[in-house]
Structure 1
Amino acid sequence: MDETRRQDQVRNGTLDEGLARLHRTGPEFVGWLSNHGPMAVEALVRRGQGRRVHRWIDAYQRRLEERPAAQGRITAENWRARLGDARYLTDWSVFFRERLAERPWPEVLAEWWPRLLPGIAGGATHPVIRVGHAVRVLLTDGSTEPRVAELAEGLGYWAARHQPLPRGRTPLPTGAADPAAALRAVVPVADRSGGINHRLGQLAGLPAWERALPTDPTEARRGLAELVRAAAAYYAGHAHGEPVMLVHAVTAPNAVLRTLPALPPALWRESVGAAWAASAAVVASYAPPGGPATPPSGASLDAAEMFDRAAEHGDEHVIKLADTLWDLWEADPDDPLPGVAARRAVELVTPEG
């Protein structure tokens, strides 16, 4: 991917125009389905596919709905009582737009990240993923009104859908075990008849990912990167169980990884623990009962080929997964896993329409 081309697409307004279009719609549609538009648009521009953005939005917007009506102002006095109350989806977004107009965005993020982190599973992990995309563009390309507004939308969505996992079932990593082995040790929930909320409610416990992670930023980032790769490997072998929902076992911890540079060091270890809990909870909810399958072999893809296939496929989950897999490819261009996992998503996810 030509970095100059991506920067041109940022400068010519493609990203901001796309975000502004999508901010006219609500964060959900058809009940609980999350609006992935801003995340996919950010990924398309990031990976040099800005030419597809407006055409992609044209198609995707037909599925979206208007922003829900406001229900009551969120304040410093009542926010705790309204945390996790989806009736206030719009009010939470307004609240964060106001906070971000008053203070620099890193200060608002640092204040609210530890408040929201226990509810990382809320909205099927989509809110933290949306925040991760928003933070990445703010860190990399700077602040504009639509980009700050997108952070407000992500934080507001997270607050409205805040859903802690059952008490005592989000163990922090300690010790020294492989995250891939820890994911394989996750026990699937028994009743698959409902959606993710029903499944998360059945969790009897999550195995600890036994790895010591000091607050040193290099070690925290290395540990999270290991978790993301382990989750991608799990996806490659288990995606046949639920090729859409298992994407979030990979993209949720990567969203946390992308956010770490904007956070105070005191929050890094807590963030790694929450990222593990999110990934393990998704695996527990959607692991295939028959165990892993052998991914099909094929020629290894480089990052640009991998993302081109995802963009051509068009599904928002496939695009976001390929974007995360690109991060893995950048860490090790000789690693075949990113191309294998991306090919798996393209094969198994049915495009809308």
Structure 2
Amino acid sequence: MMDDPGPLGRFGRFGGRYVPEALIPACEALEEGFRDAWADATFRATLQQTLELYAGRPTPVTPALRLSAELGVTVLLKREDLAHTGSHKINNVLGQALLARRMGKRHLLAETGAGQHGVATATAAALFGMRATVFMGERDMERQELNVFRMRLLGAEVVPVTSGSRTLKDACSEALRAWVTEVADAHYCIGSVMGPHPYPWMVREFQRVVGEEARAQCAGLLPAAQPDVVVACVGGGSNAAGTFAGFVDTTARLVGVEAAGGAAITDGAPGVLHGFQSQVLQDEAGQVREAHSISAGLDYPGIGPEHAHLADIGRAEYVTATDEEVLAAVERLARAEGILPALESSHALAWVLRAAGTPALPTGSTVLVTLSGRGDKDAEQLAARR
């Protein structure tokens, strides 16, 4: 479970590679390049050293003592908000940038919603002396102005996407189109466990460090060595996939929390989007429906294919949180623990606040929550909603 999906890139009935013929060779070359690099001890050591010396790994697991006392459950926070650039996105981007450099690529293409993946891509490009072009929905640029500024300050070109809903879905579409035109020199640095094979598998492997660290850290903090429940927010689902990979072979319950307005597992149906088959929000005619979330990073109408598979086989469960619950969770954690979480991460917190003391999360339980990012970027939105 959560292993190599094989040459077809299938997670049960989900995954695969559904791209224009012009991109098939690029995807095949990427799979070959990743398999070769991931089997190379030198590549793995270089990535590990870069994560430690540059990105600040390992990130700690912090016991949320006051919040735990208030809720009657032990809450542990995996602090990806403390990684360089402010989120888990740097783990995947450093891996892909090193791989792109190994494959002779000099230009990184990326999509971004909340801007954190774009910032991480711009950061890695600056570190390794590469070009970066980031596609971002015009609506997301308006609500994440700080991250747009950060990307440009780091030297990236930020391209506004004005089509469709002007959000993450449309940014992904434009990045794929750009890759077709520049496939010889450019690498499309996808930010989540989505896209055509090998991306869902490759991104999960680059994010696996989150779950593996957390598992070892929990073993040193908890009498039972592992938490009862592991929770993470899910849009495409990279922070959740990386976290779940560390616990999938344990007895811990795995809970992914989607935005109520973009819940592909809860409200979607099997479909193909951006090169992969998964659960996708669709209307009666099979057309992709727009997602909605206060969080730009979860404003996506699909979900990573491995998450769809984990739901299919019952290994993970997927629930939702509303915008109002998310805003309340931000303030609750900030005031109880002095930690300002990203709106994305606050979906996971919102479920914990709602479930604590119920059969879903009984009193006395231990829950690990992955804080995928910090909330500085959301300050303007939060101020406008108060």
Sort the TM-score into its range (normalised by shorter chain).
under 0.3
Q: Which has the higher helix share?
A: 1
Q: Which has the higher strand share?
A: 2
Q: TM-score normalised to the size of structure 2?
A: 0.25
| Larger relative contact order (CA 8 Å, sep ≥ 6) | 2
